[in-house]
Structure 1
Amino acid sequence: MASNENNTATPNGGGELQRTMTFFPALSTVMGTVIGAGVFFKAASVAQNTGSTSMVMLSWFLGGLISVCAGLTGAELAAAIPETGGMLRYIERAYGKFASFLLGWAQVIIYFPANVAALSIIFGTQFKNLFGLSDGTVVPIAIVAAISIMLINFLGSKAGGMLQSVTLVCKLLPLAAIVIFGLLRQGDVSVSLFPVQAGASAGGFAPALGAGLLATMFAYDGWIHVGNIAGELKNPARDLPRAIAGGILGIMVVYLLVNFAYLRTLPIDQLAGNENASMEVAGRIFGGMGGKIVTIGILISVYGTINGYTMTGMRLPYTMGKEKTLPFSNQLSKLNKNSVPYIAGVLELIIAIIMMLVGGFDMLTDMLIFVIWIFYTLVFIAVIKLRKTEPDLVRPYKVPLYPVIPIIAILGGLFILVMTLLTQFSLAMVGILITAIGIPFYFFMQSKNK
């Protein structure tokens, strides 16, 4: 899609997305999309996999370091190719249309709907717990949450960006309260950060670090997808790299402080595998109402995260529809009167609802992380590839310490993929199979367009 997207959009499918977003909504999209269920629900998994306070903190630090290097690397392409579609454009530029289509297919069919579905299930679960409802209400509440967010986004990118900004501020309040009061309060538990070693039940240093790091990656995921709305930023070359790099650094600081507060409040054996750890920590810090306060914070946090994936995710079927690479492309490329690809949004919502009915949180998140990191790693490699094949490409931002930071990002990506194949082979194969199902559709559309 061309980068001259500042024309007035029309609802008949022939218009372009409007450039109305500024830096803070972009920063809010990065931080708001990333900070969500992960910081609350993956802390227990990291503790269980590592078995020690020192390894917990190391896992969160290394996860943030990989994400910072990944963000700084990916931001070079985001600034040089500031077009709606994000990774679709980077992959196509480096590897061609076939690779770009497979990424788009994986995101449309797996990644974005699975994120919306998994997070909506978490929202429904927390809502049920807060109001003491029956287990049968979880999925209906999840569906209502996803539909309500989609309807808000149908009002336009400004409405979605405003919701993202508001929920970001709201979600940081309970996190800030836990950090400030948790660190000022006399700790009940001794936290040892050195020497860094795995717990007795973790199976050794390398397996513990690998499993702990893998568990953090869902919590850090989501930063790159602000590139999907580059075509709606007023100044993408300036604001996009700042939003990605600044957002991830802020997220890493938040995660380290929150988890340190957890470890000072709950013993590692009580934190490990405890999905209610955040509520228990808040209960000890603030008293009986603490758990309910944090639950409300989780609801706001997850709602904002669903919005981030909804707002950016619906742009992908739209972009692929404009390129005539998906069935029913003419419909998917239509915009409503608010310049929103509403039919593409409905498609993503339907797939997400189906996933809510058949899948669980862990299964969906594990599969989507493996699939998306295949393409993340290709993006990191593309930065080096395009430096050689397109040296004259205008790069308003260049990754610092080149090629060290891109190489760290590549090695981090390969580590995640290899560890997933070793520990969750069947799930990884399912993700690859669903991605490969898109291949016949690609050649069918190629033949049809000819």
Structure 2
Amino acid sequence: MQLNRQLSLTDAVLLIIGNVIGAGIFTTSGFLAEQLSHPWLFLGIWGLGGLLTLCGALTYAELAGMFPLAGGDYQFLKAAYGPWAGFLLGWLAVWVINPGSIAAMSIALASYLQGFLPILGAISGKLLAAAFILVFSWINYRGIRPGGTTQNLFTFGTIVLLVVVILAGLLSANGDWNRLSAPGPMPKIAWSHLFGGPMIAVIFTFSGWFASAYIGGEIRDARRNLPRSLILGTLCVTVLYLAINLVYLYARPLHELAGAENVGQLALEGLYGSGAARWISVPIMLAIAAGINATVMTGARVAWALGENGGVCRALRRVHAGYRTPAVAIACQALLAILLVTFGTFGQLLSCVVFVMVLTSIASGVALMLLRWRRPGLARSYRTPCYPLVPLLFVGSYLLVLVQIGRGQPWSSLWGVLMTLTGVPFYLWGRRHPRPAECSGHDADGCGAKPVSKSTL
């Protein structure tokens, strides 16, 4: 049984926007203001980050057009390097990255909600986070359309409130456009510093721009709509990020933003007073909720694709007979996320896999060039413009970031690599227990998978 192709281009674009925008845009700018002493450097790094992310989106657009399937990077790495590469990425994503991200965002949402509604303070933050995980997992278990509609509502609400904040900020008479200039020439800055902490922070604030590639098996006319969604979603986020940071500078001098963890609140206080600043929590909560739903949706599709290898992960490929969703994958992901919330280990785990996550993006960028060389006759509904310059810019910039992460966090990076390699024995065991015959082929419309009845879960 196939996954259900019910999502439109709009659904896919909103999935990307909702997966990218989170609390980071309301906090990261304080760190950047501390690292970059000139207003145009401060704005410029957001523009540069958006440009490099767009290079990534253009690169992934060709890959997604070739493989409009569930799994995203999993499919790209498998096609370019072999099944082992896809399996190791999927292994880490299924057991660490996705449940850890869901756990972290659920805890953050519980914290913001308790601060906004003090009546919830009597409820344990971990219990509230677990409830969020169960609710979003249940919505996505019930079908791709309920999950997509939920995503659209939270993302659209986030966009509307961000636009309101941007317009209200720029139209306020309490700001000062002179804050965009600084006395004296722009200071020189070393590339090693720029692509260290500042660019790492920007790239991770943009992270998630590839979300639609993970649900390619459920997007209508995927060969056409997947590339479009990656490009449009990335452009929308870049415009919003540049605009909100322009508001920050209009509201406060750069030195007042430096080091602030609550930049959004600080900016609104400068423009409209402390009463208005409290409401900045609303778009943050909507953005985090959209991020949880997006990760539940996309993470389960990686697990489903991993199940196709057979072996220890075979059960993850089972599709609900009625809802046409990867039901077992969603349930296992929810259970792991709740366990991580309960024991509070997600922070340590996620800090260890940052190196591998960046390495995966680099490997996918290189995969495009390898596939152009090895499989030139493969059907491509979209071709990356200015090839090979665009993928080289993407791969080169991420490689610089990777080196900085490795130098700054050597032991965490090593642990991340070792955690990935724990999948090797399971991959080797899976080769001796190949996937079932009914799923021996996998085309662009999705692979047949064994249905699971409503009574199974």
TM over 0.5: yes
**Residue deviations 1:187-238 (CA, integer Å, cap 9, x gap):** 257223795437xxxx966425521110011211112121111111111111
Q: Please state if 1:147 is matched with 2:137.
A: no
Structure 1 residues 44, 143: CA separation in 2 closer, same or farther (over 3 Å shift)?
farther
Larger mean CA deviation between 392-401 and 214-223 belongs to 214-223
Q: Please state if 1:164 is matched with 2:164.
A: no
1:238 maps to a residue whose letter is R
Partner Cα distance (2:417, 2:33) in 1? 29
Question: In structure 1, the residue corresponding to 2:180 is in which secondary structure?
Answer: coil
**Residue deviations 1:97-133 (CA, integer Å, cap 9, x gap):** 1111111112112221222122112211211211235
What is the deviation of 1:358? 4.5
Partner Cα distance (1:159, 1:38) in 2? 27
Residue of structure 2 equivalent to 1:262: 248
Report if the CA contact (8 A) 1:322-1:333 is conserved.
no
Q: Please state if 1:396 is matched with 2:385.
A: no
Larger mean CA deviation between 244-253 and 419-428 belongs to 419-428
What is the deviation of 1:163? 1.1
Residue of structure 2 equivalent to 1:5: none
Partner Cα distance (1:180, 1:152) in 2? 33
Partner Cα distance (2:363, 2:264) in 1? 36
> Identity across aligned pairs (percent)?
29
What is the deviation of 1:37? 2.2
Q: Please state if 1:87 is matched with 2:77.
A: no
Question: In structure 1, the residue corresponding to 2:320 is in which secondary structure?
Answer: coil
Residue of structure 1 equivalent to 2:187: 197
Residue of structure 1 equivalent to 2:412: 427
1:401 maps to a residue whose letter is C
Question: In structure 2, the residue corresponding to 1:190 is in which secondary structure?
Answer: helix
Residue of structure 1 equivalent to 2:397: 412
Residue 277 (structure 2) aligned to one of 250, 275, 291:
291
What is the deviation of 1:44? 2.4
Q: Please state if 1:329 is matched with 2:308.
A: no
Residue of structure 2 equivalent to 1:339: 324
1:163 maps to a residue whose letter is T
Question: In structure 2, the residue corresponding to 1:172 is in which secondary structure?
Answer: helix
Residue 170 (structure 2) aligned to one of 171, 183, 202:
183
Residue 219 (structure 1) aligned to one of 189, 205, 210:
205
Unaligned runs of 5+ residues in structure 1 are: 1-14
Structure 1 residues 331, 226: CA separation in 2 closer, same or farther (over 3 Å shift)?
closer
Residue 29 (structure 1) aligned to one of 5, 15, 22:
15
Report if the CA contact (8 A) 1:23-1:239 is conserved.
yes
Larger mean CA deviation between 431-440 and 365-374 belongs to 365-374
**Residue deviations 1:316-340 (CA, integer Å, cap 9, x gap):** 1112223314x15135524252111
Residue of structure 2 equivalent to 1:271: 257
Report if the CA contact (8 A) 1:53-1:263 is conserved.
yes
Residue 86 (structure 2) aligned to one of 73, 82, 100:
100
Q: TM-score, normalised by structure 1?
A: 0.89
Residue of structure 2 equivalent to 1:77: 63
Residue of structure 2 equivalent to 1:315: 301
What is the deviation of 1:398? 0.0
Structure 1 residues 400, 433: CA separation in 2 closer, same or farther (over 3 Å shift)?
same
Structure 1 residues 99, 205: CA separation in 2 closer, same or farther (over 3 Å shift)?
closer
Report if the CA contact (8 A) 1:54-1:197 is conserved.
no
Report if the CA contact (8 A) 1:64-1:252 is conserved.
yes
Structure 1 residues 66, 317: CA separation in 2 closer, same or farther (over 3 Å shift)?
same
Partner Cα distance (2:346, 2:44) in 1? 25
Question: In structure 2, the residue corresponding to 1:314 is in which secondary structure?
Answer: helix
